[in-house]
C-alpha cells in the first residue's frame, strides 16, 4: 500500500489507443514518510507513534480504495461486465496469454493494461482484436480502484463483455487492492520456480485461480507442479490450478471454459 511500497507520488496516465490525444493527471492519496530522528541515545520506551500513524494511514488508504472498488463493481454489474484481475510477476506471460485468449474468445473482450511506463502491451492487445486502455502508474507498483474507475470512463466496455485488468507486474501490492473485479487470477510461469506460494502467501491466498504458464518449458526447468498446487491450496483450500502454455495453446481450452463459467 502507498505508505509502505513507496508509490504514493506516482503520476498516473490513462491512454485510450483509439483516441489520438492523451490525458494525464496527478494521482495522490494519503501517505506517510517516516524519518529517523535518532540522537544517538538509547530510549527505554521505544516511540511507537510513527508506527501507529503509519498503520492508521494504511487503513485509511485501503478503506477509501475499497469504497471505490465497490462502486466499480456495482457499475460493472449493472452492465453485465465480468472483470478479471490478472496478477503476476514481470515476465510471467500475462500479455501473451491475453493475446491468445482474445483471439479465441467466445464473446466481446476489453482490456485495461497496467504498466509503469510505455503503451507496448496495450498496442499488442489492440492488435489481437480487443479495445485497450493503457494505465501508466509512473513509480506506482500496482493499480488501484481509482485508476480503474478512470480507465472505465475512457474504455466504456460493451455490456455483457469480459473485461481483463492486467495489473502491474508485482506479486505483493496488487493482492492488497480490490479493483472491483469479479475474480482474481494469478499467473505464474514455470521459469520462476515452484516456491512462490510460500514466498508470496497473500497473493495466492487472494487468488480465485492460478494459471501455471510456460509449461512447454517444463522439460528444461526444475519445477514441481504438484508442490506449487499443494502449497497454494494450503493458503486457499480448493483453489483451482490450471497448467497452460500461452505459446503452444496447451490447456487454454480449460482456461476458456473457466472464463465461460463466470
Q: Between 12 and 255, whose confidence is greater?
A: 255
User: Residue 55: its pLDDT value, please?
Assistant: 61
The grid coordinates of residue 225 equal 507442479
Confidence bin at 205 (pLDDT 50/70/90)? very high
Distance, in Å, from the CA atom of 198 to the CA atom of 211, rounded to the nearest integer, reads: 16
Structural domain includes residue 6: no
Structural domain includes residue 7: no
Q: Across the chain, where does the E strand assignment appear?
A: 11-16, 23-26, 82-88, 109-115, 131-136, 162-166, 183-189, 209-213, 240-243
Q: Counting every residue, how long is the chain?
A: 262
**Which long-range CB contacts under 8 A does 56-59 form with residues at least 24 apart?**
57/3, 57/30, 57/31, 57/32, 58/1, 58/3, 58/4
Distance, in Å, from the CA atom of 191 to the CA atom of 226, rounded to the nearest integer, reads: 15
CA distance readout (Å), 146 to 2, 27, 56, 174, 260? 13, 9, 20, 14, 28
Structural domain includes residue 25: no
Q: What is the tens place of the pLDDT at every residue in 54-99?
A: 566 567 778 899 999 999 999 999 999 999 999 999 999 999 999 9
Report helix angle 49-79 to 145-155, nearest 10. Answer: 30
Distance, in Å, from the CA atom of 91 to the CA atom of 262, rounded to the nearest integer, reads: 26
User: Residue 2: its pLDDT value, please?
Assistant: 53
Structural domain includes residue 142: yes
Structural domain includes residue 2: no
Q: pTM of this prediction?
A: 0.82
The one-character DSSP state at 154 is H
Cβ contacts of 171 within 8 Å, gap of 6 or more: 87, 88, 89, 196, 199, 200, 203
CATH number, domain containing residue 213: 3.40.50.300
Structural domain includes residue 39: no
Q: Whole domain around residue 112: which residue ranges?
A: 12-18+48-260
Structural domain includes residue 58: yes
SS3 194: coil
Q: What is the tens place of the pLDDT at every residue in 93-117?
A: 999 999 999 999 999 999 999 999 9
Could you give the number of structural domains in the chain?
Answer: 1
Asked if 135 contacts 143 with a C-beta cutoff of 8 angstroms, the reply is: yes
User: Residue 14: its pLDDT value, please?
Assistant: 87
Structural domain includes residue 92: yes
Asked if 22 contacts 15 with a C-beta cutoff of 8 angstroms, the reply is: yes
User: Residue 16: its pLDDT value, please?
Assistant: 80
**Which long-range CB contacts under 8 A does 47-54 form with residues at least 24 apart?**
54/3, 54/4
pLDDT, mean over the chain: 87
Amino acid at each position: 500500500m502507498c505508505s509502505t511500497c513507496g508509490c504514493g507520488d506516482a503520476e498516473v496516465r490513462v491512454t485510450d489507443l483509439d483516441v489520438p490525444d492523451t490525458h494525464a493527471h496527478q494521482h495522490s492519496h494519503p501517505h506517510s514518510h517516516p524519518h529517523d530522528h535518532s540522537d544517538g541515545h538509547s530510549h527505554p520506551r521505544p516511540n511507537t507513534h510513527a508506527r501507529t500513524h503509519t498503520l492508521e494511514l494504511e487503513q485509511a488508504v485501503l478503506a477509501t480504495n475499497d469504497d471505490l472498488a465497490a462502486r466499480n463493481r456495482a457499475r460493472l454489474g449493472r452492465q453485465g461486465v465480468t472483470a478479471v484481475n490478472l496478477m503476476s510477476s514481470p515476465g510471467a506471460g500475462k500479455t501473451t496469454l491475453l493475446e491468445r485468449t482474445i483471439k479465441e474468445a467466445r464473446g466481446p473482450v476489453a482490456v485495461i493494461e497496467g504498466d509503469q511506463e510505455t503503451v507496448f502491451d496495450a498496442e499488442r492487445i489492440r492488435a489481437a482484436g480487443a479495445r485497450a486502455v493503457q494505465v501508466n502508474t509512473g513509480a506506482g507498483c500496482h493499480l488501484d480502484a481509482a485508476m480503474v474507475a478512470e480507465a472505465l470512463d475512457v474504455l466504456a466496455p460493451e455490456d455483457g463483455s469480459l473485461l481483463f485488468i492486467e495489473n502491474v507486474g508485482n506479486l505483493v501490492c496488487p493482492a492488497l487492492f480490490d479493483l472491483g473485479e469479479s475474480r482474481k487470477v494469478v499467473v505464474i510461469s514455470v521459469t520462476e520456480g515452484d516456491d512462490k506460494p510460500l514466498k508470496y502467501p497473500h497473493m495466492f491466498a487472494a487468488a480465485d485461480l492460478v494459471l501455471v504458464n510456460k509449461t512447454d518449458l517444463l522439460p528444461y526447468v526444475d519445477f514441481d507442479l504438484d508442490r506449487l498446487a499443494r502449497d497454494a491450496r494450503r493458503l486457499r483450500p480448493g483453489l483451482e490450478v490450471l497448467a497452460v502454455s500461452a505459446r503452444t495453446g496447451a490447456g487454454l481450452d480449460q482456461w476458456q471454459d473457466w472464463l465461460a463459467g463466470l
